[in-house]
């Protein structure tokens, strides 16, 4: 099957594909918080996709872990034909009837912790 073989700074990150894929996608994102006046940004790499419709009539999204990037990182991908792939960390339905959580428990915990740190920064008194 067709797969994306990904290396970041010369280190193998993932070989991404699924037998039933209809879409495979690579994303390199530079995100800047529009609410802040600073030049803070997040750089990230991710791979995901969408399956063909199954016998029940719905498709599934799938994705592999996102990787944080920094200035100067080298992201390389190669299209290959292989049967040896890395399993996605999450597959979830892509339909309106059943809404499945798109994040793993670990990812949800990390997001809650990041929210906690932001709230802590906002509401704790500043020590001088």
Q: How many CB atoms lie within 10 A of CB 62?
A: 24
What's the CA gap between 104 and 89, in Å, rounded?
Answer: 7
Does the structure show a pLDDT above 70 at 122?
yes
Domain assignment present for 120: no
Do the domain assignments include residue 22? yes
pLDDT at 16: 97
Does a structural domain hold residue 6?
Answer: yes
Instruction: Please report which confidence band the pLDDT of residue 35 belongs to, taking 50, 70 and 90 as the band edges.
Output: low
Alpha carbons 50 and 30: distance in angstroms, whole number: 23
Is residue 106 one of the residues assigned to a domain?
no
User: Is 65 a domain residue?
Assistant: yes
- Residue 15 domain flag: yes
Residue 117 lies in a domain: no
Domain count, the chain: 1
Residue 24: give the domain boundaries.
2-100
Span 29-43, average pLDDT: 79
In a domain, 113, yes or no: no
* Mean pLDDT for the stretch of residues 121-127: 79
């Amino acid at each position: 099957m067709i797969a994306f073989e990904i290396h970041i700074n010369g280190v193998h990150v993932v070989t991404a594909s699924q037998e039933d894929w209809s879409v495979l996608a690579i994303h390199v994102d530079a995100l800047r918080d529009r609410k802040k006046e600073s030049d803070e940004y997040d750089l990230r790499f991710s791979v995901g996709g969408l399956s063909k419709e199954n016998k029940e009539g719905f498709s599934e999204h799938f994705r592999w872990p996102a990787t944080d990037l920094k200035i100067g990182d080298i992201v390389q991908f190669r299209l290959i034909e292989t049967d040896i792939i890395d399993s996605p960390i999450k597959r979830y339905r892509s339909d309106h009837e059943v809404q499945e959580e798109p994040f793993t428990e670990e990812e949800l915990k990390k997001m809650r912790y990041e929210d906690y740190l932001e709230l802590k920064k906002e509401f704790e008194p500043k020590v001088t």
